[in-house]
């Protein structure tokens, strides 16, 4: 058993929209102990030091311990295209993103890139993500291999595209793509902590036949995830209307193919209507709101309250490389700004919940991650409240917990991270902090 002493914060329920108090939903336990068993699960959270059976104690008094962040939509091969100038979605894909993704046909590049990507997530306090690699089977394999090596709970699958993409980025045919998926599902789905997602890039890059195959895969096993993009950009929505003239809406293309279900994650959802939102609710599917991407690519302002009114689930995601940071604080701060532009106010509670417990529940993984409850896997990160004179002063002046957390979300990023633990094992240590058990694996292997 190991124990960490810090200020613990998590959620027991979804905070109500606009409620800055959120009594009964926010669980703040300052100066408490998180006790983790040898299997990497949370054994207890308590106000006093554990009496016995603890082989190591880490004292992080005055620092914030949160469940590991969950990024529900991000692209592993796009780290290198972050911050690419001057385009909206469709040109951005053609000019920057597709050329970068083509390189991942090389197994060496896919392996090294996947490791670099996951280590970057961990260096931002993110312990679980739903990830798009590339169309190449080898790239999905490399990503899931690297996730297994780090003990991370990842949701991912080979990207499906068989049209409107350049040479080297298209599936040969529907049958080959289906075989690749079936092989990868057998190898990775529910193996260790990995889960497979049928990954349709977006409607324009799949033929109706490929979409039907993806829907049949989902029907064959209800435990599979599905991830895609929907209604991100107005030119894209218009193009989908031309490609699928019989569909009622962009979302209806996916609904008709059998791709909407409780494990479906649809990124963006900016240009949806009320019927679409009702369809998402009825299917139990979620939208991954990607605010930094939506601002950077000029895609539009996501209507979060409309989703709440419809009873449909929302998580928050970086969408790197359309998004401009892997830091979930920056993502949440941008979410606040997008909602403010649309005349709404996003509380720190709704924001943090959406990146932890809310995302875990939307992914149907609430039994495993997202909270600091006994029995959950010990995926967590420890943060400094402040890392420079400006945010130190702001924290000093904060009058209540919501003000503290709101300022922290708005001002903090990966520079505030002390360390990241996955199943109780340290997988990232900030420079200058003791990585006391970073080498557990090496030690036990020696």
Q: How far is the CB of 18 from ligand GUN (least distance, A)?
A: 28
User: Binding of Zn ion at residue 334 (CB under 5 A)?
Assistant: no
C-alpha–C-alpha distance, residues 310 and 305, integer Å:
9
Nearest residue to Zn ion, scored by beta-carbon proximity:
319
Parallel/antiparallel/unpaired status of strands 2-11 and 26-36: antiparallel
User: Binding of ligand GUN at residue 97 (CB under 6 A)?
Assistant: yes
Number of residues engaging Zn ion in binding (CB under 5 A): 2
User: Binding of ligand GUN at residue 158 (CB under 6 A)?
Assistant: no
DSSP result, 144-211 = HHHHHHHT-EEEE-PEE--SSS-TTSS-S-HHHHHHHHHHHHHHHTTSTT-EEEEEE--GGGS-HHHH
Binding-residue pattern over the window 242 to 281 for Zn ion, x denoting contact by CB under 5 A: -------------------------x--------------
User: Binding of ligand GUN at residue 251 (CB under 6 A)?
Assistant: no
C-alpha–C-alpha distance, residues 27 and 348, integer Å:
13
3-state helix, strand, coil in the chain (%, to 5): 40, 20, 35
Would you tell me how many other CB atoms lie within 10 Å of the CB of residue 368?
Answer: 17
Binding-residue pattern over the window 49 to 78 for ligand GUN, x denoting contact by CB under 6 A: --------------------------x---
Name which of ligand GUN, Zn ion, none residue 150 binds, using a CB cut-off of 5 to 8 Å depending on partner kind.
none
Q: Is the backbone peptide bond immediately before 435 cis, with ω within 30 degrees of 0? A: no
Candidates 288, 289, 305; CA nearest to 342 is 305
Element (H, E) at 66: strand 56-67
Tokens of 37: 């068993």
User: Binding of Zn ion at residue 141 (CB under 5 A)?
Assistant: no
User: Binding of Zn ion at residue 236 (CB under 5 A)?
Assistant: no
Choice from 303, 319, 361, 437 touching ligand GUN (CB under 6 A)? 319
CB-facing half-sphere around the CA of 289: CA atoms within 13 A: 33
CA 48 to chain centroid, in Å, comes to: 33
Number of residues engaging ligand GUN in binding (CB under 6 A): 11
Q: How far is the CB of 89 from ligand GUN (least distance, A)?
A: 6
Q: Which is nearer to Zn ion, 200 or 429 (CB)?
A: 200
Q: Which is nearer to Zn ion, 323 or 358 (CB)?
A: 323
Q: How far is the CB of 75 from Zn ion (least distance, A)?
A: 6
- Binding part of the chain for Zn ion, among 254-262, 275-283, 315-323, 383-391 by CB under 5 A, reads 315-323
Tokens of 348: 């720190």
- Binding part of the chain for ligand GUN, among 89-97, 119-127, 251-259, 356-364 by CB under 6 A, reads 89-97
C-alpha distances out from residue 201 to 18, 98, 131, 149, 407, Å: 34, 12, 11, 26, 36
Q: How far is the CB of 293 from ligand GUN (least distance, A)?
A: 5
Query: What radius of gyration do the chain's Cα atoms show?
Result: 21
C-alpha–C-alpha distance, residues 73 and 302, integer Å:
15
User: Binding of Zn ion at residue 232 (CB under 5 A)?
Assistant: no
How is residue 250 annotated by DSSP?
Answer: H
Q: Which is nearer to ligand GUN, 203 or 346 (CB)?
A: 203
> Which SS3 state, helix, strand or coil, does residue 221 take?
coil
User: Binding of Zn ion at residue 319 (CB under 5 A)?
Assistant: yes
User: Binding of ligand GUN at residue 136 (CB under 6 A)?
Assistant: no
Choice from 4, 96, 104, 202 touching ligand GUN (CB under 6 A)? 202
Q: How far is the CB of 178 from ligand GUN (least distance, A)?
A: 21
Tokens of 328: 């979930």
C-alpha–C-alpha distance, residues 237 and 244, integer Å:
11
Q: Which residues bind ligand GUN (CB under 6 A)?
A: 75, 89, 93, 97, 201-202, 229, 232, 293, 319, 322
Q: Which residues bind Zn ion (CB under 5 A)?
A: 267, 319
């Amino acid at each position: 058993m190991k124990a960490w002493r810090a200020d613990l914060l998590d959620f027991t329920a979804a905070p109500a929209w606009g409620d800055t108090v959120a009594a009964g939903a926010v669980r703040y336990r300052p100066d408490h102990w998180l006790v983790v068993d040898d299997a990497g699960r949370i054994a207890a959270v308590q106000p006093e030091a554990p009496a016995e059976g603890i082989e190591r104690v880490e004292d992080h008094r005055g620092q914030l311990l949160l469940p590991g962040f969950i990024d529900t939509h991000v692209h592993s091969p796009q780290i290198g295209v972050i911050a690419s100038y001057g385009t909206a979605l469709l040109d951005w894909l053609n000019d920057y993103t597709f050329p970068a993704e083509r390189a991942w046909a090389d197994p060496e590049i896919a392996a090294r890139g996947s490791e670099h990507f996951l280590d970057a997530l961990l260096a931002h306090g993110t312990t679980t993500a739903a990830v798009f690699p590339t169309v190449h089977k080898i790239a999905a394999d490399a990503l899931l291999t690297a996730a297994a090596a780090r003990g991370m709970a990842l949701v991912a699958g080979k990207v499906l595209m068989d049209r409107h993409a350049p040479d080297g980025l298209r599936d040969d045919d529907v049958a080959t793509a289906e075989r690749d998926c079936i092989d990868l599902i057998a190898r990775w789905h529910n193996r260790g902590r990995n889960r497979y997602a049928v990954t349709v890039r977006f409607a324009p890059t799949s033929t109706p036949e490929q979409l039907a195959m993806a829907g049949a895969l989902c029907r064959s096993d209800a435990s599979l995830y599905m991830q895609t993009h929907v209604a991100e950009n107005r030119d894209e929505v218009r193009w989908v209307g031309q490609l699928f003239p019989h569909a009622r809406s962009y979302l209806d293309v996916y609904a008709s193919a059998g791709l909407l279900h409780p494990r479906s994650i649809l990124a963006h959802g900016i240009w949806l209507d009320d019927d679409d939102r009702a369809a998402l609710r009825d299917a139990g599917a979620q939208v991954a709101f990607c605010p930094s991407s939506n601002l950077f690519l000029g895609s539009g302002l996501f209507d979060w309250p409309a989703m709440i009114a419809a009873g449909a689930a929302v998580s928050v995601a970086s969408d790197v490389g359309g998004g401009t940071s892997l830091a979930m604080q920056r993502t949440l701060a941008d979410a606040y700004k997008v909602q403010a532009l649309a005349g709404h106010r996003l509380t720190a509670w709704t924001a943090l919940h959406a990146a932890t417990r809310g995302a875990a529940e939307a992914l149907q993984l609430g039994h495993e991650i997202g909270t600091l409850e006994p029995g959950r896997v010990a995926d967590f990160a420890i943060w400094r409240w402040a890392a420079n004179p400006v945010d130190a002063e702001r924290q000093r002046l904060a009058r209540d917990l919501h003000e503290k957390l709101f300022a922290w979300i708005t001002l903090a990023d990966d520079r505030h991270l002390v360390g990241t633990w996955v199943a109780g094992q340290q997988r990232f240590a900030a420079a200058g902090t003791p990585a006391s058990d970073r080498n557990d694996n090496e030690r036990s292997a020696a």
